[in-house]
C-alpha cells in the first residue's frame, strides 16, 4: 500500500511549478482578465512544448498515454496560480472521450493535433437556467442528408473564443435521453459568440448560438442517442480534474494566509500569534489535506475504474468545493482590509471557488450521490481492504 505521489508525478509537479513561475504565476490570470489574452496563447505553446497537452493521448498519436493520476500534480499547480484556459476540458474531457468513443477518422483528425497543442477543446454543455439535466439539453440537431443542422443556444461555455473545437451535447430525438454528442469545429461553422460577464474572469464564459449550423454526421461522437451516457463518463473526468485544481487553490490559500499571518503585526506581534487567526489557518490546512487525499483517491479510482469510482468522485467533489469556498473566504478575513482589495490576490480564489460551486452539480447533488452509493452498496461497506 502506498498513498502519495510517486517520483514521476513529483517531477511533473516541480516542472509545472517552474514553468508557471516563469510565465508570471498569479500574474497570468490577472493579465488575462485585464484583456491581455496573448498570455493564454503563450501559456498554451509552453504547455505543448512540455508535452503536457498529450498526457492523456495515446502514444500512437504522439501523446504519453497516461491517465488521470498523472494529471493530478499538474492540475494542482495550475490551481495554485488560478490559471485560465480550457486545459481541463481538452485533456481531461475531450482527449479521453475521443480515445474511448471516437471513430478512427476522428482519432486521426483530432488526437495528434490535440497532443501537439494545435487543437483546443471546450465543452458546450449548459443551456437555459444552467441546470445540468437531460431535459435541459435542447439545442436541436435535425438530420439533413449527411449532416445535422443545429439550432439553439449554449451558455457558460468556458473559453469558447480561445478553443477551436467544441464538444456539444444536442437533442436528436423526443425521448428524454435522446441526446448525442457532436464534435463541432469552430472554424468551419458559423457560430455566434458573446461574452458573459462573470466574477471569475480567469474562466471566460461565453454564450454560443447555433443558427442553422451544419455539422457533418461524421462528427458524431459515439452512437446517436447515447450522448448522455458518454457525457457522464466525461463528467467524471472533468470533476476529478477540477478537484485537483481546487486542491491547488486551497494549497496556495494556506500558503498565502500563513505568510501574511507571520508578517503582519498588530498589538506589537504577528497576527499569527492570536489563536483566533492561527487556528483558523489550521482549519484551512486540515481542509486542504482532506481535500488532497480525496482528490488523489478520486483520480486513483478513475484511473483504475474501481467499483467505488462514482462514490469516490462524489465525495471529493462535494467536500472540496465547499472547503475551497470556505478557505477562500477565511483567507480574506485573515488579511483584513487588504483582503478586500482588488490588488491583493485573495479574491481570485474566492471567485474561482464560487464559479465552480454548482458547475456540473451542486455539493448537495454530489452528497446525495454519496449516500445513494452508500445505501445501495451496504455490503461492500465493510472496511476497505
Partner 1 sequence: MDFYYTTEEEKFRDELRQWLVDNLPEGWIEGKREIPQDNEGQSKFFRDWQRKLFDGGWSGISWPEEYGGRGATLIEEVIYEQEMARVQAPPQINVIGVAMVGPTLLQIGTEEQRERYVNKILNGEEIWCQGYSEPNSGSDLAALQTSAVKKGDKWIINGQKIWTSMAHLADRCFLLARTENTGKKHEGITAFLVDMHQEGVETRPIRSIDDQHIFNEVFLNDAVAYEADIVGEVNKGWKVSLTLLSHERTGVARQIFQLNQVFDELVEMASTLKKNGRPLIEDPIVRQNIGRLRAKSKGLLLNYYRNLTNSIRNGYPGPEGSMDKLGASELGQEIYSYALSLQGSVNTLWKENAAVTAEWQYEYLRSRAYTIEGGTSEIQRNIIAERILGLPKDIKY
Binding site for partner 1 (CB under 8 A): 1-6, 69, 254, 258, 261-262, 269-270, 272-275, 278-279, 281-282, 285-286, 289-294, 296-297, 300, 314-316, 318-319, 364, 366-371, 374-375, 378, 381-385
C-beta closer to partner 1: residue 158 or 323: 323
Nearest distance, CB of residue 129 and partner 1, angstroms? 21
| Alpha helix ranges (H) inside 264-358 | 275-303, 309-335, 346-356
Instruction: Give 348-384 as a DSSP string.
Output: HHHHHHHHHTTTTS-HHHHHHHHHHHHHHTGGGGS--
Nearest distance, CB of residue 60 and partner 1, angstroms? 26
Rounded Cα–Cα distance for residues 31 and 204 (Å): 13
Rounded Cα–Cα distance for residues 302 and 318 (Å): 16
Per-position b or e across 85-122, b if 16+ CB within 10 A of its CB: bbbbbbbbbbbbbbbebbeeebbebbbbbbbbbebbbb
- CA 25 centroid distance within chain: 19
Nearest distance, CB of residue 360 and partner 1, angstroms? 17
C-beta closer to partner 1: residue 37 or 368: 368
3-state DSSP call for residue 196? strand
Instruction: Give 121-153 as a DSSP string.
Output: EEE--B-TT---SGGG---EEEEETTEEEEEEE
Pairing, β 147-158 against β 205-216: antiparallel
- The residues with which 180 forms a beta bridge, in sequence order, are 170
C-beta closer to partner 1: residue 131 or 364: 364
Nearest distance, CB of residue 265 and partner 1, angstroms? 10
C-beta closer to partner 1: residue 212 or 364: 364
Q: Which of 287, 348, 284 is nearest to 320 (CA)?
A: 287
C-beta closer to partner 1: residue 178 or 373: 373
Nearest distance, CB of residue 85 and partner 1, angstroms? 27
Nearest distance, CB of residue 280 and partner 1, angstroms? 10
Nearest distance, CB of residue 355 and partner 1, angstroms? 22
Instruction: Give 75-90 as a DSSP string.
Output: HHHHHHTT--SSHHII
Rounded Cα–Cα distance for residues 171 and 50 (Å): 38
Rounded Cα–Cα distance for residues 166 and 21 (Å): 30
C-beta closer to partner 1: residue 197 or 383: 383
Nearest distance, CB of residue 239 and partner 1, angstroms? 14
C-beta closer to partner 1: residue 173 or 376: 376
Nearest distance, CB of residue 7 and partner 1, angstroms? 11
C-beta closer to partner 1: residue 91 or 277: 277
Sign of the dihedral defined by the CA atoms of residues 125, 128, 132, 138, in that order: negative
Rounded Cα–Cα distance for residues 121 and 384 (Å): 38
C-beta closer to partner 1: residue 190 or 380: 380
Amino acid at each position: 500500500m502506498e498513498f502519495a505521489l510517486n517520483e514521476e508525478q513529483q517531477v511533473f509537479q516541480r516542472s509545472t511549478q517552474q514553468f508557471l513561475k516563469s510565465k508570471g504565476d498569479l500574474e497570468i490570470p490577472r493579465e488575462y482578465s485585464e484583456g491581455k489574452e496573448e498570455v493564454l496563447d503563450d501559456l498554451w505553446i509552453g504547455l505543448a512544448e512540455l508535452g503536457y497537452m498529450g498526457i492523456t493521448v495515446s502514444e500512437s498519436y504522439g501523446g504519453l498515454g497516461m491517465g488521470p493520476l498523472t494529471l493530478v500534480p499538474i492540475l494542482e499547480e495550475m490551481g495554485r496560480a488560478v490559471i485560465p484556459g480550457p486545459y481541463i476540458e481538452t485533456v481531461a474531457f475531450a482527449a479521453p472521450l475521443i480515445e474511448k468513443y471516437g471513430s478512427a477518422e476522428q482519432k486521426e483528425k483530432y488526437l495528434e493535433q490535440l497532443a501537439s497543442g494545435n487543437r483546443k477543446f471546450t465543452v458546450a454543455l449548459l443551456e437555459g437556467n444552467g441546470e445540468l439535466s437531460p431535459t435541459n439539453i435542447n439545442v436541436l440537431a435535425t438530420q439533413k442528408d449527411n449532416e445535422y443542422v443545429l439550432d439553439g443556444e449554449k451558455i457558460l461555455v468556458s473559453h469558447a473564443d480561445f478553443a477551436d473545437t467544441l464538444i456539444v451535447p444536442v437533442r436528436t430525438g423526443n425521448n428524454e435521453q435522446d441526446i448525442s454528442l457532436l464534435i463541432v469545429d469552430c472554424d468551419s461553422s458559423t457560430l455566434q459568440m458573446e461574452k458573459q460577464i462573470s466574477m471569475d474572469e480567469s474562466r471566460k464564459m461565453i454564450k454560443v448560438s447555433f443558427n442553422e449550423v451544419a455539422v457533418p454526421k461524421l462528427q458524431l461522437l459515439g452512437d446517436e442517442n447515447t450522448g448522455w451516457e458518454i457525457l457522464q463518463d466525461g463528467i467524471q473526468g472533468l470533476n476529478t480534474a477540477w478537484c485537483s485544481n481546487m486542491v491547488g487553490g486551497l494549497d496556495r490559500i494556506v500558503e498565502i494566509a500563513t505568510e501574511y499571518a507571520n508578517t503582519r503585526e498588530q498589538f506589537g506581534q504577528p497576527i499569527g500569534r492570536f489563536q483566533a487567526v492561527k487556528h483558523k489557518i489550521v482549519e484551512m490546512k486540515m481542509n486542504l489535506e482532506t481535500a488532497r487525499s480525496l482528490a488523489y483517491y478520486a483520480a486513483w479510482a478513475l484511473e483504475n475504474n474501481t467499483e467505488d469510482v462514482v462514490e469516490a468522485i462524489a465525495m471529493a467533489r462535494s467536500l472540496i468545493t465547499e472547503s475551497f469556498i470556505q478557505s477562500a473566504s477565511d483567507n480574506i478575513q485573515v488579511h483584513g482590509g487588504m483582503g478586500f482589495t482588488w490588488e491583493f490576490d485573495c479574491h481570485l480564489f474566492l471567485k474561482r471557488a464560487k464559479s465552480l460551486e454548482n458547475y456540473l452539480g451542486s455539493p448537495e447533488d454530489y452528497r446525495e450521490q454519496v449516500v445513494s452509493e452508500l445505501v445501495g452498496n451496504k455490503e461492500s461497506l465493510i472496511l476497505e481492504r
